[in-house]
Amino acid sequence: MRIGIDISQIVYQGTGVARFTNGLVNAILDSDKKNQWIFFFSSLRNHLDQKLRTKIINRNHRLINYKLPPSLLSFMWNRLHLLNAEHITGPVDWFITSDWTEPPGKVNKATIVHDLAFMRYPETVDPLIRKTQKLRLKWVKKESAVIFADSQATKDDIIDLLKIDKKKIFINYPGVDINENKNNPAGILDEYRLNKPFILTVGKLEPRKNILRLIQAFNSLRTDSVDLIIVGDKGWGETASQDAIAKKNVRFLGYVPDDKLSVLYSKCLFFIYPSIWEGFGYPVIEAMKHGAAVATSNTSSLKEIGRDSALLFDPQSEKSIQQALEKLITDNELRNGLKQKGLMNATRFTWKNYYNKLINTLNSVYQTSAV
């Protein structure tokens, strides 16, 4: 088969969608020796990593590079719905999209839906994202032959909120790779002045990630022996979170590169992820793969991927978050048990598994439609 895929989201470093796109592209390049892939990348100011460019060419696939900003692509594809995908890629059997724009086309189209948080909790999502996703998903509902959902929770949302036939929807858990850094972890801890036990959380600073409520729960603890370390770029509506710091042992580190973040995962007392709603929740599995005990929300996909390998709490309840913090700070046996369970649970999430499910589904649907 000839398969086109939009990989434009790969350049937004520090975001879950960029991490997903990078993992998927490398899984395709490492696993597929049979099909011809056409990678479409568009950005006005950002550039695709040169190593990835070289890897695409060396695997005898094609890279098509446009210098159009995502806002223009969104206007052209989501709003006007002009310029067919095959006019860019040439003849293809499938065109795959995810996250931001949905081009028209006479080809079979598959799309990846990470979550529908903008519909479940619109007040927690940037208005621009809400508007863009609403426009995109209108065309997905009308035109996509296959929809890959990151979790059962996301599939349920697609059926419930978009009223799409469940026969079109296939659950495909993303892979999670980790970049273990075993070189001088003590030096990295010194670099970030992490000189006492710390609780780690990771996520862009925006309302859906629920950082403000986590800080409030942490501030209510009667201990100064542990730090709360928050890693993540600024999102929107994050000012209140930073203003809410009432104790000197709550710290924002901003963006932390993967090799250094690896050390923080592996050296934290435990990891906590209080997001209100997630289609998957990469940091939960990343933390588990690093051997960290994990506490996370009892909602959406987080309960699904955490299973019995994480301590679950109600993300809407400050008291529930506080109780989870207290348990994991004081109960060494609980932390050790969750570490072992988490390591085992995390083995389910590989990019090889993701690629196999994706290509087998596309093959099956394509052969059925050709009959």
Residue 349 in tokens: 């999430």
Answer yes or no: is 132 within a domain: yes
Task: Encode 166-177 in three state secondary structure.
Answer: HHHEEECCCCCC
Predicted pLDDT of residue 367:
84
> Which of 85-99, 180-194, 232-246 has maximum average pLDDT?
85-99
Average pLDDT, the chain: 92
Asked whether the predicted pLDDT for residue 334 surpasses 80, the reply is yes
Answer yes or no: is 321 within a domain: yes
Answer yes or no: is 363 within a domain: yes
Q: Give the CATH number for residue 220.
A: 3.40.50.2000
Question: Within this chain, do residues 94 and 28 fall inside the same structural domain, yes or no?
Answer: yes
Question: Within this chain, do residues 197 and 159 fall inside the same structural domain, yes or no?
Answer: no
Asked whether the predicted pLDDT for residue 241 surpasses 60, the reply is no
Answer yes or no: is 7 within a domain: yes
Alpha helices in 220-350 (DSSP H): 239-243, 258-267, 282-289, 300-306, 318-330, 332-346
Predicted pLDDT of residue 244:
56
Predicted pLDDT of residue 262:
95
Q: What is the mean pLDDT of residues 76-95?
A: 95
Answer yes or no: is 75 within a domain: yes
Predicted pLDDT of residue 180:
79
Cα 320–chain centre separation:
25
Q: What percent of the chain has pLDDT over 70?
A: 95
Predicted pLDDT of residue 182:
73
CB contact at 8 A, 229 and 200: yes
Question: Within this chain, do residues 232 and 331 fall inside the same structural domain, yes or no?
Answer: yes
Q: What percent of the chain has pLDDT over 90?
A: 81
Question: Within this chain, do residues 210 and 354 fall inside the same structural domain, yes or no?
Answer: no
Question: Within this chain, do residues 339 and 190 fall inside the same structural domain, yes or no?
Answer: yes
Q: What is the mean pLDDT of residues 41-66?
A: 94
Answer yes or no: is 180 within a domain: no
CB count in 10 Å sphere of residue 317 = 13
Predicted pLDDT of residue 237:
63
Q: What is the mean pLDDT of residues 160-168?
A: 96
If 0-12 CB within 10 Å is exposed, 13-18 middle and 19+ buried, where does residue 367 land? exposed
Q: What is the mean pLDDT of residues 336-340?
A: 98
Q: What is the mean pLDDT of residues 124-133?
A: 90
Tell me how far apart the alpha carbons of residues 168 and 164 are, in angstroms, rounded to a whole number: 8
Predicted pLDDT of residue 119:
95
Answer yes or no: is 117 within a domain: yes
Predicted pLDDT of residue 356:
97
Question: Within this chain, do residues 128 and 195 fall inside the same structural domain, yes or no?
Answer: no
In the chain, the number of structural domains is 2
This prediction has a pTM of 0.91
Predicted pLDDT of residue 242:
54
- Of 204 and 128, the structure prediction assigns the larger pLDDT to 128
Task: Tell me the residue range of the domain where 326 lies.
Answer: 185-346
Question: Within this chain, do residues 247 and 102 fall inside the same structural domain, yes or no?
Answer: no
Asked whether the predicted pLDDT for residue 203 surpasses 90, the reply is no
Question: Within this chain, do residues 299 and 324 fall inside the same structural domain, yes or no?
Answer: yes
Q: What is the mean pLDDT of residues 346-363?
A: 97
Question: Within this chain, do residues 128 and 161 fall inside the same structural domain, yes or no?
Answer: yes
Closest by CA to 151, choosing from 270, 285, 10, 23, is 285
pLDDT-derived band of residue 124, with 50, 70 and 90 as boundaries? confident
